[in-house]
Chain A
Amino acid sequence: MSAVEIHNLRKEFRRGGGLGRKGRRTTALDGVSFAIDRGECVSILGRNGSGKSTLVRILSTLILPDGGEARLFGHDVVAEGAAVRRFVNRVSVEASFFKKMSPVENLSYAARFYGLGLHETRVRIPEILDRVGFPSSRRDARMEQLSRGTQQKVALARALLTSPVILLLDEPTTGLDPRSKLEVQDFIRDIREAHDTTILLCTHDMREAEILSDRIGILERGRLLHLAPVGELLARFESESVEEVFLAATGVSFEDDWDAPDRLEVTK
């Protein structure tokens, strides 16, 4: 059984509607299909608005798809959402914490939502914060007093605290300084090696995708154009870098707008 099985997944949104107007339809995912084996790391590359975050949100049970199917270890994300939520966690581009609360307070209550009791968190939170290289002197500081990179370490600690079998990473290093980015990437590698965690990494950082993943997929305007190991993609496009592969596969250039234009259909 694959860890992740996605078949013909479709999602569109209606935006800008109001009284008497249904608004415009935007296609976020258009028949996406792929599978990820247990312990594998797959990266999905795509421009802003290509559908990466929608894919992650559907797998996190936060968005309901319009059609198709997504299963995590055989559990349907729609019909068996409660079962799916037990073994999935996510780190997104925004660290997302109660900003007046400390890292320890944020991790404590979040751990309770996953059934971890007082004794367990008292032992595990310091351990995990140490592992992500979080300075012990800052554990009681407010989240708003921490740098973006340090907040992201707490986000990784939150995900790891719940021992996820599947980890969904949605641009986890976007906006981080080079050092923090390397630290986060090292930690992602550690998680995978230590826990055999299956990882879906959505990013537009080509280098990150190349060094962290077994296979790379290219998502453009809601369609998964290619999904293969890095070497195979390089050979297929006769390219020397993932950047070249991405540009050739999507047909965009560095001069183009890196926000993918919506696939629109105006309805009355």
Chain B
Amino acid sequence: MTRATLALRHELIGLLGVVERNWYLVKRYAIWEVTWFVWTVANTLTIVFIAKGIEASGGSLDVERETTVLLIGAVIWSYLGILFEILTQTVGWERWEGTIEYTFMAPLSRAVHLLGMGMFAVIYGLLRTALLFIVVASFFTLDLGQADYWAAFVVLVIASISFLGVGVMTAVFPLISPEKGTQLGFIAQGMLLVVSGVYYSVSVLPGWMQVLAKISPATYALRGIRSAILDGAGVGDLWGDIWPLLVIGVVSIPLGFLIFNRGEIYAKRHGMLKRSG
């Protein structure tokens, strides 16, 4: 094997190591996973029932369509929450366990380390999101006969690249602020979705927020997935939402790595990697 092949093999094994570790943790905290899922279902239902509530109070709307719109918004909110939480754990959980120094002194490039966390987050997030969609949808009578689930899946996977870039940027917060950094990840998630039309059309936002919506990957993800589920749009029909996601992904991933790298240098300069912070 050449030196380059060996180095690549080493990094690939390291990447699998990150996924493997997270799988062990899911197994060991299985009962908490179930508890968390039940909470997510309850939380999602509180949002999705809003359409029926409006109709019951005399409002006029296409209940079935609006229920599906809200369901997709809530499910994507949950998916983003999983992604950001797992990426933020890159630092937060490891600092709490005291393993952070051992991970950061291992000969694994930070990009591969973060990609491993991202890869696990996407696989785990997609499975949980699909399950959440099925469970919550079963509470309602929705006609999803024309939905193109494959196209929705493709849009979500492509959007995940951009989400990971943003998630890596937020993962730096616990590195530079051990006490409050984790919460900043939730703030980023909320900011991203509020401008992206999570439960409403982007057109209802003030002008300056609509400008922000244009650079948010969640805008294109929500619009694309809704078109696929509600109108049966295929992958080809969704190109208008896919290409901005690809562009944002190409920019956000390297930018995320760069920001994390600067954060890591700051943490190493100020001795912030140790357990106590």
Determine if chain A interacts with chain B. yes
User: A90 at interface (Cβ–Cβ under 8 A)?
Assistant: yes
Interface-side segment among A54-62, A173-181, A224-232: A54-62
Secondary structure of the B side of the interface?
helix
Q: Chain B residues near A117 (CB, 8 Å)?
A: 13
Q: B-facing mask of A72-107, CB < 8 A → 1, else 0? A: 000000000010011011101010111111000100
Q: Is the CB of B17 within 8 A of A109?
A: yes
Contact status A63-B24, CB under 8 Å:
no
**Complex Cα distance A63/B17, Å?**
24
Query: Which of B50-58, B188-196, B239-247, B267-275 lines the interface with chain A?
Result: B267-275
**For residues 1 through 25 of chain B, which have their beta carbon under 8 Å from a beta carbon of chain A?**
9-10, 13-14, 16-18, 20-21, 24-25
Indicate whether A85 sits within 8 Å of B28 (C-beta atoms), given known contacts A57-B271, A99-B97.
no
Question: Is A67 among interface residues, defined by CB-CB distance under 8 A?
Answer: no
Task: Report the count of interface residues on A (CB-CB < 8 A).
Answer: 36
Distance in Å: Cβ of A57 to nearest Cβ of chain B: 7
Q: Determine whether the beta carbon of B29 is less than 8 Å from that of A113.
A: no
Given A63-B271, A112-B14, A115-B13, are A57 and B107 neighbors across the interface (CB < 8 Å)?
no
- In this complex, which of A109, A110, A142 has the most chain B Cβ atoms within 10 angstroms of its Cβ? A109
Partner of B108, one of A94, A108, A113: A113
Q: Which residue of B lies closest to A90 (CB)?
A: B105
Selected from B18, B24, B108, the residue in CB contact (under 8 A) with A105 is B24
Please list the residues of chain A having a beta carbon within 8 angstroms of any beta carbon in chain B.
13-14, 54, 57, 60-64, 82, 85-86, 88-90, 92, 94, 96-101, 105, 108-117, 142, 158
Which residues of B does A touch, CB under 8 Å? 9-10, 13-14, 16-18, 20-21, 24-25, 28-29, 97-99, 101-109, 265, 268-271, 273-275
